[in-house]
Amino acid sequence: MNGQIKSLKDFETYAEALISKYQIPGVAIGLAHNGVPVYEKGFGFRNIEKKLPVTMDTVFGIASVTKSFTCVAIMQLQEQGQLNVHDPVVKYLPEFYAGSDCTNKMTIEHFMTHTAGLPPLPSLIYAKKRSLDADPSVKDYPGLHIKEDDSQEPIDTYEQLMEYIGKLDFELLGEPGTEFSYSNDAYGLLGAIVERVSGISYESYVKQYILEPSGMKNTYFEIEEIKDYENITSLYATKKQENGETFVYEAPIWWESPAMRGAGALKSTVHDMLKYAEIFRNKGKVGNYQILTPESVEEMVKPRIQLTQGKYYGYGFMITPDFHGVTLVEHGGNLKGVASQVCIIPEKGITGMILTNLAGVPAPTIMNAALNDL
């Protein structure tokens, strides 16, 4: 791989078949070697009706890939001596209570690794409630079963999120540090810790200390921030018809959840995300900026709790220590109008990003096929 853009014909044949099968309107995928793009491909459209193509600078949602940004922020604050990942969460969020005395044992690291013992909670529904109530496509979102408590107001702030969790009746899955259970609540509250420790909003912190120094000019938390930029994807949803067939339609409303932005709110492009991935390929450095120390990067990509055979969770990343003889560091995201995946293979100097505009589609499968072909 000498830095020239490659042709991956076998991959493209495979990808086009999957894209057609799942009716994905648009896919952007890019791979880089030692920070230099070696493969870039836009399949389909960011807007079907207007026949607008997908490019490496098309803004898509990245959903839960945002979680690693939240961990970068935490690690930066640790480097500055402002917190320690082994500190109890209640040191920074004294009003946080998770239904048991174990609350005091929950550390920042437990939140970062989804091991605080929190079971899946309905908070995310109420954190997105304003968007969900305004969106007629909500009924077609895969896996969203809304049994709403009509008396529950939208959760708009970190304080309201903590108050809501404190009122819920639930049992922890185990002692903090023992059980893995994917928790958007934990990551929402990591955003609250970033805000309280840094003295600025979580969104401002990420922008100032991660996005800007990394040169990520087209990465945002809210679509409203993108004033004059036109290369933004439309969002799509899938509807099942009575005969069992499905069709894809445009579903324009982006889902926002101000109290849980740390869990999955960023929007970005392939080009920007390949810059971001450099942090983890290049020992914390992007261009001239040292975003994290090499030691902090190492801590983030260390396997900490087993997910499945051979796959672990670190800080905001999933890690496969033996992916065909190398390490695969990755994270995916799924949200309304989003399926995404970032990956880094440090030993090979390879980074990759895939972004799509439809939920519930196999973005990681397409990404792995590209990696295998490369």
Q: Is residue 141 part of a domain?
A: yes
Residue 224's pLDDT is: 87
Residue 162's pLDDT is: 98
- Gap between the Cα atoms of 79 and 71, Å rounded: 12
CB 210 within 8 A of CB 292: no
Q: Is residue 57 part of a domain?
A: yes
CB 316 within 8 A of CB 113: no
CB 183 within 8 A of CB 111: yes
Average pLDDT value over all residues in the chain: 95
pLDDT tier at 4, thresholds 50, 70, 90: low
CB 118 within 8 A of CB 98: yes
Count of structural domains, the chain: 1
107: CATH: 3.40.710.10
Closest CA to 39 of 366, 353, 286, 361: 353
Q: Is residue 32 part of a domain?
A: yes
CA distances from 230 to 14, 55, 136, 201 (A): 30, 12, 25, 27
pTM: 0.96
pLDDT tier at 140, thresholds 50, 70, 90: confident
pLDDT digits (tens, 9 = 90+) for 182-192: 999 999 999 99
Q: Is residue 4 part of a domain?
A: no
Quote the domain boundaries for residue 130.
9-373
Mean pLDDT of the region 267-295? 98
3-state secondary structure of 61: strand
pLDDT digits (tens, 9 = 90+) for 227-248: 789 999 999 999 988 788 889 9
- Gap between the Cα atoms of 77 and 266, Å rounded: 20
| pLDDT at position 157 over 80 | yes
